[in-house]
Every structure is written in structure tokens, then in C-alpha cells.
């Protein structure tokens, strides 16, 4: 059963990776890059400060802890333990995948990009959706999905690496947001609960 899933993952990844265009290569490289999104991160930080005022440091600290936890655990709890080769390093498919931006590291399960981005997407969505309805549209998850797709496009990850990374990031975001809400309620009880709690119907 597991071997069948692995084979299917390999086939789907190669098919998706091959569905590409040379003209898209630099775009996908930029999408996959960290520095590309600095303006977005600054904008989100500004929206948090605007929304939470003096309590914003707690929410921002939550983001920092979340990303650090996601990045660390995706490597030491998964990559270093499961040691699953990236498509670019896997002898089974390495000759079949396009690699427009190098091979990357040795192991790819789980995807740190997917874990980090979906963790951020979930956390920011629940932190800001009650102040800005725009975030209720799922726009942050579309952003995370685009970055996750770029990793398959570049031959750095299997689809399974991406999906498991997404789930892990969402799980971590849930935990860190629970802690953030407790801190907001205790340290700044005057912060309007409607900012960080689900509105009562």
C-alpha cells in the first residue's frame, strides 16, 4: 500500500513538474524565494500593529515563534528522520524532472516552505479576519499554495512532501494561536475579544 502511494506520488510529481514553460522558470524562482515576499511581510506586520495596537507585540511574537518552530521541526522532526530524497536527488526520478534552479538539499520530506507558508497563512488569517474581511476570502492560503506549487515546479519536492508540510504547518498554527489568544486575554484584557475570537452567532 505504501509503495503504491509512493509510486503514485512520484508519477504525479513528475507530471506536474513537466507541465512547465521556460518563460515561467524565473517567475517560479522568484515566487519560491524568501526575499520576494519581504514587502508582504512588512504589510502584514503593519496590519497587525494597526489592529492590535500595544498588544501587537504578542501577535508578532507568535508569528516569530511559529515560523521558528515550523522551520526547525520540519527539518529535525521529519527530514532528518525520514530521509526521503528530493525528486532532484532521487535516483528513481532525478533524470525525469526539470531542475531550472538547482537540486537543493538532499532530503525533502516534509517541505519547509509548505509548512512555514501554510502556518503563516493560517495564523494571519485568524489574527486579522475579524478586522479585515479581505482575509476571510482565503487569500493567504492561495499565496501559500502558490509557493508550495513552485517547489514542485522547481523539482525540489514531491507532492506528498508539500501536502504533509501543509498539514504540519496548519497544526502548528493552531497550537501557537491558542497560546497567543491566552496571552492576549491575560496580558492585555482590555484588547477587544472580537479581534481574536470567533464572533458569536
pLDDT digits (tens, 9 = 90+) for 6-60: 999 999 999 999 988 888 999 999 999 999 999 999 999 999 999 999 999 999 9
pLDDT at 194: 60
What is residue 22's predicted lDDT score, i.e. its pLDDT?
A: 84
81-124: pLDDT as tens digits: 999 999 999 999 999 999 998 888 999 999 999 999 999 999 99
**Matching residue, cell 517560479:** 28
Question: What are the tens digits of pLDDT across the range 136-147?
Answer: 999 999 999 999
For residue 18, the number of C-alpha atoms closer than 13 Å in the C-beta half-sphere is 11
For residue 189, is pLDDT > 90? no
Q: Is the pLDDT of residue 131 over 70?
A: yes
- The residue among 155, 170, 157, 161 whose CA lies nearest residue 70 is 170
Let me know: does 179 contact 76? Beta carbons within 8 Å.
no
Q: Is the pLDDT of residue 199 over 70?
A: no
CA 75 to chain centre: 14
Tell me the whole-structure pTM to 2 decimals: 0.92
3-state secondary structure of 40: helix
pLDDT band at 193 (very low <50, low <70, confident <90, very high): low
Amino acid at each position: 500500500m505504501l509503495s503504491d502511494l509512493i509510486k503514485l506520488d512520484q508519477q504525479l510529481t513528475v507530471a506536474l513538474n513537466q507541465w512547465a514553460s521556460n518563460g515561467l522558470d524565473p517567475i517560479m524562482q522568484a515566487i519560491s524565494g524568501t526575499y520576494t515576499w519581504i514587502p508582504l511581510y512588512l504589510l502584514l506586520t503593519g496590519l497587525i500593529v494597526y489592529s492590535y495596537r500595544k498588544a501587537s507585540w504578542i501577535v508578532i511574537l507568535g508569528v516569530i515563534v511559529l515560523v521558528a518552530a515550523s522551520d526547525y521541526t520540519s527539518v529535525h522532526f521529519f527530514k532528518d528522520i525520514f530521509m526521503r530524497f528530493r525528486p532532484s536527488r532521487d535516483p528513481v526520478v532525478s533524470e525525469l524532472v526539470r531542475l531550472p534552479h538547482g537540486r537543493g538539499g538532499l532530503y525533502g520530506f516534509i517541505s519547509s516552505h509548505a509548512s512555514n507558508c501554510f502556518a503563516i497563512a493560517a495564523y494571519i488569517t485568524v489574527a486579522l479576519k475579524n478586522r479585515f474581511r479581505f482575509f476571510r476570502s482565503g487569500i493567504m492560503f492561495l499565496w501559500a499554495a502558490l509557493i508550495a506549487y513552485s517547489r514542485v515546479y522547481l523539482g525540489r519536492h514531491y507532492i506528498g512532501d508539500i501536502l504533509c508540510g501543509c498539514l504540519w504547518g496548519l497544526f502548528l498554527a493552531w497550537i501557537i494561536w491558542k497560546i497567543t489568544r491566552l496571552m492576549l486575554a491575560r496580558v492585555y484584557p482590555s484588547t477587544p475579544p472580537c479581534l481574536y475570537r470567533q464572533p458569536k452567532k
